[in-house]
Amino acid sequence: METVEHLIVGAGPAGLRAAQVLAEARREVLVLEKRPEIGPKTCAGGLTLKTIRELEALGLPPGTAHRTVGHIAFTGGPAVTLDPERSVVHTIPRRELGQWQLGWARGAGAEVCAGTPARSIDLATRTVQAGNRRIRWRHLIGADGADSSIRRALGLPSPREYFAAEYNVPGLRLEPLRVECDPDRLGNGYFWVFPHAGYTSIGAVAAKRLVRPPALCRYLDARVAGLGVSHEGIALEGATLEVQFRGIHFDNGVHLVGDAAGVPSSLTAEGIYGALVSGEEVARAILEPRYPALKTRRWLRVKRRHDRLARVLGRASARRIVFAALASLARRRSAQAPLASWFLAE
């Protein structure tokens, strides 16, 4: 049996950010990723301004991501921009983002093993099986997404209440980037069109109790056809989202970050920012137990208010009233910037 000081399960934005922080502090870090390639995931790939600031501070070259201004429609009709500055969104493929982060983590000295799932996790003995390696850890960071094996090992509920599906259509640039609410068909979810430099992501997300995944996929197919876009030969990608937050630090040196911790917003489905800051600040708290984790705490406050509104929108009787009020506010110039800041947490 080998012993590793810091074991991270999952090489998404949260796990790789945690690995980079720990490795930069000259700590021993091993990252296990079950997928054969680092990066790809069902995701629209949108980065808000606060997220792009985090990544550019780490070394992402300016201009790497495609820059656009987001538009939104709350009750049908044309999508409008709320604020040309606060509504800026950058899009980057998750494969590309993953490769940037992989380079930073490995450059700092972390060992990252793709195609190596963590099995037989035993929290009591602090051991895990990875291929033919039996590994004992001092600190274990669960960064393994919505279907987290570490979260399950902790005995935490994992309802994965939301489902998202998308088509990534190569060679297509549909502008502008837009989010369209459809309270009658998508409940508290939304339809999206996210243009990238070389393709466009077209998708939808909703709470599973309001829209069953097969119904959401049929809705998406109809919307894509309505845009005059062919998706023949293009795989439909789908994934669940864990939005139920139950904590970050646990006994026996176990920690959860990113989607495994349930930090995505259940209103906007924004998850990359929460993944980056929770991964960073969990690692810093391991290095310095009194570390205040201010960015994570601020994001969790945003998430709580988003989650409250998402719960309200889960009731049919409230949806039309709330969406109509939001549409009215979106037409008022004085309300546009505050509304954009509220949703995007800028």
Please name which of 73, 12, 35, 41 lies closest in space to residue 168, comparing C-alpha atoms.
41
Rg (CA), the chain: 20
Q: What is the pLDDT of residue 101?
A: 98
Helix or strand run (H / E) with residue 326: helix 316-330
Which secondary-structure segment (H or E) carries 273? helix 272-287
pLDDT above 90: residue 105: yes
Taking the whole predicted model, whether its pTM rises above 0.85 is answered as yes
Residues in the chain: 346
Residue 185 has pLDDT above 90, yes or no: yes
Asked if residue 84 has a cis previous peptide bond (ω within 30° of 0), the answer is no
User: Which whole number is the average pLDDT over 22-39?
Assistant: 97
pLDDT (0 to 100) of residue 228:
97
Distance CA 85, CA 73 (A): 18
Instruction: Give the Cα separation of 25 and 219 in Å (integer).
Output: 48
What's residue 322's pLDDT?
Answer: 97
pLDDT in tens, 292-302: 999 999 999 99
| Residue 203: strand pairing partners | 166, 192
Asked whether residue 78 carries a pLDDT value surpassing 90, the answer given is no
Residue 282 to residue 13: CA distance in whole angstroms: 13
